[in-house]
Chain A
Amino acid sequence: MRERDPESPGEFIEIYGEYVKPPDLAIAFLVTIVGGAVFYVVAPTFLSVIGMPEATRAPLSITIGLIGASIGFLVTLLFVKPKRVVVEG
């Protein structure tokens, strides 16, 4: 079973045994880091609004930042596609 047409896929770069399209990597990184940074920056305000004590705001901010990065990662799955053709033997 072939997953997509391998006739005109273009050029990729092999990194760690995987085929990568550099613009896709740049976009994926940007979307993920923006997701993380926005959540990280907004987190202290959000935590003070919901009444969190000041001492716990800094560590919770990084947790919320990482949640933002994870959401960014999930968003990238919508428009970055794997560069693999899986052939089932």
Chain B
Amino acid sequence: MIGFETLLLVVILSVISALVYVIVGILPGTDETATMAPIALALLIAGLDPILVLAWFMASIVAFKTADAVPVALAGIPGGVMAVPQVPDAVEAKRAGKADVILRKGITSSMIASFVALILVLVLAFYLKPLGDFLNTKDVVYGVSVPRWFWLLMAGLLVLALTSRNRLLALLTIPAFAILIQGLRLAYDKTAIISFFLGITIGPLVIELLEVLSGYARDRVRRGYLNVKLEPVSSIPLNPLRHLSREELGHVLLWPPITSILAMVMSPVGLTILVGDLLKGLKRNPLEASILAYTVRDGVKNATYIGGLLIPLLVIGAPTGPMSAGPGLPFFTEIKGVVPAKYIMANHSYLEIALTLLLSTAVAMLVAYPMLIRYSRKLTLLVFKTIPAESLYGLFLAIVVLLAYYDAGLRGVLGVFMVSIVSGILWRNGVSLGVLFMTLVAAPTLFAFIKLV
């Protein structure tokens, strides 16, 4: 039973999370998995009640996925991987002097989409709950015990591999990466997951750093400071009803909820690209097309993260898509004998979970919305002027090393290093990191099948 004290903690944690992730969202070069997952993991390992960590995580989704478009609108620089598809449309709008128009439309779209997607997901998950028992039933296939959700995971994994930039390599990677993971687990003498997960997360950063150290980064040498031009922004009214046209509101009410369900097995960034491209085809005027795509994409980002995490968590208790097997994986990882997703479902009623999620989302919206609408420019200026990339990257790497050591000692740290090098090289060659995250989850069952041959 959730008491007053827990609700108070939900509010406090959601406020802190929203404040932290507004800043992280504005900062360029902050990958979602690298910034959200280690913190959630650390809170879970520290022994915080999983439902409170879920509240923290929900608030971070709302704040991060809203704030990451702010530097896109103001400077053409994405604040996270999910905001990258918005850059060309933002540049088009900025050229027409519409930076503040897309800024307010994007933030409003994120807010509306977060709320609508959460309501839909909560209702849908409630009615899909009986499906959870079916999906958790294990069948014996060729002597291997396989939970039925594994096939859902495999379907999503194959779709993601086939839509990767390098689909052949992505497909070949699945069994090979499963062997690497299971082999390292033998070396660890335990079924570790945290250090592998963190290794994939920091793969792209590690490979870029190794290239710099090895002298292979001459084409990335830059003379002089990075020039960031911030567009002027006029005063924006707080009333969200004045920011979207009826047509935009219609699309925001339609696409984010649909994509929140699809994100159960599909890639959030893929869905964001797909919906935006689809909407651009509806408009003849390129500027109108860009503004519409930018606006709806901002909402799709939030919705896919919410649906991609919550449907697997509330219905199945196992990760089935790139979001739940990626940034959301800490909730499906056994920590000191407890899987947080299962703990939440076993120890709290559905109503309590729903109220906690609604409360954390509402608090994050109340913190992030006025902050971003009123002070987006000042905030961006402050963050760009005071927080160096080196300090931020240094912090992520240090957190990863600490958690890996906690997971499996020196073997954990070396395992992270190994997995990050492999992941970084595969990512550089066109394999989506989602393929690796999902293979990590599927590895024990995949390995059992591979052993049969």
Show the binding face of A for B, using Cβ within 8 Å.
3-4, 6, 9-22, 24-25, 27-33, 35-37, 40, 56, 59-60, 62-63, 65-66, 69-70, 72-73, 76-77, 80-89
Contact = CB atoms under 8 A, between A and B. Distances in A.
Interface in B276-301: none
A28 B405 CA distance: 19
A12 B221 contact: yes
B402 A62 contact: yes
Nearest to B220: A14
B334 interface: no
A3 to B, nearest CB: 6
A1 B222 CA distance: 22
B32 to A, nearest CB: 13
Contacts of A56: 47
Interface residues of B, number: 51
B352 interface: no
B384 interface: yes
Given A86-B228, A87-B229, A60 B393 contact: no
Given A13-B217, A28-B391, A82-B387, A88 B402 contact: no
Contacts of A89: 229-232
B402 A36 contact: yes
Contacts of A36: 398-399, 401-402
Interface of B: 28-29, 31, 42, 45-47, 77-78, 204-205, 208-209, 212-213, 217, 220-232, 336, 381, 384-395, 397-399, 401-403, 405-406
A25 B221 CA distance: 15
B390 A40 contact: no
A40 B413 CA distance: 15
Given A4-B225, A28-B390, A80-B390, A40 B45 contact: no
B171 to A, nearest CB: 27
A73 B224 contact: no
B45 A21 contact: no
A33 B389 CA distance: 16
A18 B222 contact: no
A83 B393 CA distance: 14
Given A21-B390, A62-B45, A15 B209 contact: yes
A76 B406 contact: no
Given A17-B77, A32-B391, A86-B230, 17 more contacts: A9-B223, A13-B220, A16-B389, A20-B389, A25-B390, A25-B393, A29-B397, A62-B45, A63-B45, A66-B402, A69-B399, A73-B395, A76-B394, A80-B390, A81-B388, A84-B385, A89-B229
Given A15-B389, A32-B394, A56-B47, A9 B224 contact: yes
The 8 A-B pairs with the shortest beta carbon distances in the complex, nearest first, are: A16-B29, A28-B394, A18-B389, A32-B398, A63-B46, A29-B394, A33-B398, A76-B391
Contacts of A3: 385
B74 to A, nearest CB: 9
A32 B395 contact: yes
A82 B384 contact: yes
Nearest to B213: A22
Contacts of B224: 6, 9
A65 B402 contact: yes
Nearest to B389: A18
Given A15-B29, A17-B77, A82 B212 contact: no
A17 B221 contact: no
B223 A83 contact: no
